[in-house]
Amino acid sequence: MQRILGSTWLAQSVLGLCLAVAVASVGCTTVNPETGEQQIDPIPTAAAVAGTAAAGALLWGVTQENDNNDDHHHHGGGYRPFSPAAGVWCYPDQQRCYNGDGYAKKWTRRVFGD
């Protein structure tokens, strides 16, 4: 996932989703003027649940759409280096990948093809 979307983007999306749930849940309760007690308001509650589910489904869909195992695909739409796995760096302009031991033939084939 990190190699496609970036961990920062995913973390911000999850944080935004959590914040949306917290804000939406505030509107789900009302105070009964007769008793002074808080009561759950069913319409805003249903809207908050539906909105949260839709946002979660959208986020899940985006992550699944971009999760293609990266075999034989070029990354990033440019020539910037990227890391398909911990300790592995690939360079699209060179069509080569490297790890701590130097040239990584397995990763080069997997990412850029034969």
**Residues shown for the chain:** 114
Residues 6+ apart with CB under 8 A from 55: 17, 20
Mean pLDDT of 97-107: 95
Q: Is the pLDDT of residue 110 over 70?
A: yes
37-48 tens-digit pLDDT: 888 777 877 777
Q: Is the pLDDT of residue 5 over 50?
A: no
Q: What percent of the chain has pLDDT over 70?
A: 59
Using an 8 Å Cβ cutoff, are 97 and 84 in contact?
yes
**Quick one: tokens of 87?**
């300790």
Of 2-11, 64-73, 90-99, which one has max mean pLDDT?
90-99
The amino acid sitting at 80 is R
